Structure 1
């Protein structure tokens, strides 16, 4: 098990949190004794799309809880991640504390970049982002309306009209793939800007652009996946992946959408579920994100629980069941 103290968009941001944690806790004699017993480390590493500050590994849950109480004095949103036990509990309240820490980190970075050039670059990224938003919205609305009309008419008219629908779907799939390129460019540009010296308002603006870009990427990927599924072009990969990494990234993505109330995200992983699997890493994460996003929309207080169990095993082939419940 490990303690996730904080997460950031860049490695530099996570290292700021790591240094702060080391300097503060090194003065605590109880913490030093537990660290000597457990032999854990405080470090920064990449987890999915984010960079996290983590204390790992722990072998005794009571000592991990004692350390967690001290860590939460600096990072109230810190939580314990249990990779291979019967339950994994993550408590999230709001993202306000995380945003405040990022603002403080941004203010402490010395400014060494030409402000005029930075503003021009940010303006270009913002304009591209806004253009992408309007383009996708117009395309989605236009093609959804047109597809519904075409589909209704096809039920009453000749089969020749179905060919037109297929052509429209191909056009929509092609346009969606082209839209992905500027969205990925916005994401890459935002990452580069976040690595530079920014003041608080600039840092907040870039975070807004990055979050909007992520939402647009998800919408575009959903549309492409739907079209591939409808045209029987979806191909599932069979490759080795770590289930814990998928769950780690899913928890980070879902937690950023939990706002307003106190919600607990609980993973219950049965002991016979292996960490290493051969399957499709991408679609496993996509399905879990969709299920948990739906639960987040209907849960203001209480808990969201994901239960993973093995329902069938024949030799090296097994069937996993993912149950999502919420309050």
Structure 2
């Protein structure tokens, strides 16, 4: 089955594309055969509000981590935890202060952020380009999708021996491992969103004789953004997961290196400081992506919104 072609409709309809196929919240088929939706009764709107998740509380997602820290603190204060196996929050906080004071934590964090940032950047760019090539072209789909589906079944970490052979054990290998994990995640979600665009929008674009550029701007981009942001959120998490592993392979700096060194001397407090650092950056980066997603996709009416 061939993909619908854009730009093959009859010209001279007298109606411009931007008036009928706008981007964002107004991206709906318009025409004489479409009956406007009836207004929702006030009672139904009230019921929908009651059935929803309720008003969002600022920093509400911190409730779970704070509860976990409280349980950890109580177990340590009641001597249920052996400090040789798991240090208490007070000891971890004191160790973090010492690491900050002598500059070790900041130096390692900056190195880790650089690795994760470069891997995320290259991975997102590669994933989007591959998704567009496979999602907008039947030949591209035949050429790329099967290969990337196979790659999805192969963990990036399983390719470490081969990547070390090819790229050595330096920074290039570390960034490549992170980028591979991010690229596949972004590709899968963006490609699924592209191929899942309602065919009615494509048919409407054909009937209006939209150019290829107008079709991409008015139909493809708004339709693929939700899937792209899902892939981006998962890609951010994948970048941190890959970073944890590659920083323990012949590294001389980074949070993972600091944790590996602490393992040799049974310093559980330093290990927990590293875990907390990973958790904070992972949570903050996901929250940043969510904030951008809410702003860009503010036209969508969802339960979470």
Give me the TM-score of the superposition, normalised by structure 1. 0.28
Structure with the largest fraction of strand: 1
**Per chain length, whose mean CA-contact separation is higher, i.e. which structure has more relative contact order (CA < 8 Å, sep 6+)?**
2
> What is the TM-score when the length of structure 2 is the normalising length?
0.29
Between structure 1 and structure 2, the one with the greater Rg is 2
